[in-house]
Amino acid sequence: MAQKPLRLLACGDVEGKFDILFNRVRAIQKKSGNFDLLLCVGNFFGSTPDAEWEEYKTGIKKAPIQTYVLGANNQETVKYFQDADGCELAENITYLGRKGIFTGSSGLQIVYLSGTESLNEPVPGYSFSPKDVSSLRMMLCTTSQFKGVDILLTSPWPKYVGTFGNSSGEVDTKKCGSALVSSLATGLKPRYHFAALEKTYYERLPYRNHIVLQENAQHATRFIALANVGNPEKKKYLYAFSIVPMKLMDAAELVKQPPDVTENPYRKSGQEVSIGKQIPAPVEESACQFFFDLNENQGRKRSSTGRDSKSSPHPKQPRKPPQPPGPCWFCLASPEVEKHLVVNIGTHCYLALAKGGLSDDHVLILPIGHYQSVVELSAEVVEEVEKYKATLRRFFKSRGKRCVVFERNYKSHHLQLQIAQPGAAYFYVELDTGEKLFHRIKKSFPLQFGREVLASEAILNIPDKSDWRQCQISKEDEETLARRFRKDFEPFDFTLDD
């Protein structure tokens, strides 16, 4: 059965004209049916009084569609975006964050970069730096399976985007726009790239992401710049489109070339160089290596790449995982980690017994690098998380047990997938029946909700264990449980495969 396309809307600079925008969206939905998301680029807030925004902020008025917005492009509007990692601004209106990857439940992948370009340090709160662009590229482009992303959202246009394309009107793309955004678009190969700030509409002819006769065919990119909401010239500020997530598409269908496709505008001789000069090459650092004696009868030492250290005298070192800004109880390299609870280490993730667990085999799946939530993970880390989940399900099934996986992205700084088992807070559950439950946290939320539900009389019937602090045991007993789990889990340990 063919995958049903998602129906999306993209919007240019709103500049505080919320009623005009949302009334227009309501009219469109009444005529054409509901859309799934509204994506806003450019200046969401303007210099107008806040009275209109207060009505949305306080719930008097409500956006008619789930709306995702980029952050500030000037000092005046920084005050509206208090959390750099993204947050809910009002019901149905979410700030994505300074930069990152948003992955929807459908698999749709949206990369976002807020602000305008800055080459100076320190970088203002309304700008992005070469380091920001490099980190986004590293998160995605360093995996061999990477093909591109579905959507890229930036406020500035990419410099040189008009090269080889149709006329961009009064906007001179050789002078206007950001070379850093051009570099990001080159690396990420988005199927759609939306931008604003220039108060005009420009839909560039699609451009190819491969060199004809030299590289395998790849999908084309469509760049669309949108005008400001309610502009008197009636330039287009709202763009409707349908899209099937890249990961769900047939490969041949994905790479079909539109009849009007052009060359890549960022590959013109000399321009790639000028773009690249502004972006420092990512520094290759030796990865943190973790050699713990996890098996009593350990016959070999694995390198940090997860392979047998004998296989190559010069193994390639992966890049250093993201590091925490301060102390973290869950980063494997951190002195705060209670390493005797670690029971298995992969290439990108590790397993650890839960402190004060609900059961003797209550384990956590944790990334080695510092990530706050699943939506921030790079593709290779997500792949290993899924591998651990599948392996643990087989492990528990072999022992006549069932498992529940849950994650709370709320007042937590390091991702913890608990097994007793695209900014906003959420609670996520996976059952071993295949069902997945997702709840958006809007206000307060019990920090131990997942544990309390599992401990309740209706499920495990151990209500006295709902608070982990009441379930702590001695370090000696923890070490005994860890040794037992390692031994039992060893037949299922995929990290020992060559």
**What's the CATH code, domain 339-411+422-492?**
3.30.428
Residues 85-127: tens digit of each pLDDT: 899 999 999 999 999 999 888 889 999 999 999 988 899 999 9
**Which pLDDT value is given to residue 278?**
47
Give the pTM. 0.60
**Which pLDDT value is given to residue 127?**
96
Residues 27-67: tens digit of each pLDDT: 999 999 999 999 999 999 997 778 899 999 999 999 999 99
HEC string of 29-56? HHHHCCCCEEEECCCCCCCCCCHHHHHH
Cα 416 to Cα 350: distance, rounded to the nearest angstrom: 11
Which position has the token pair 């307060």? 444
Rounded to whole angstroms, what are the CA distances from 278 to 137, 172, 184, 365? 14, 20, 12, 38
pLDDT at 69 over 80: yes
**What's the CATH code, domain 6-255?**
3.60.21.10
Q: Where in the chain is the domain with CATH 3.30.428?
A: 339-411+422-492
> In whole numbers, what is the pLDDT of the chain averaged over residues?
81
Q: Where in the chain is the domain with CATH 3.60.21.10?
A: 6-255
pLDDT at 425 over 70: no
Is residue 332 within 8 Å of residue 352, measured between CB atoms? no
**Which pLDDT value is given to residue 47?**
79
Is residue 102 within 8 Å of residue 96, measured between CB atoms? yes
393 versus 285: the higher-pLDDT residue is: 393
List of residues 6+ apart from 285 with CB closer than 8 A: 319, 320
pLDDT at 438 over 80: no
Cα 23 to Cα 317: distance, rounded to the nearest angstrom: 53
**Which pLDDT value is given to residue 443?**
63
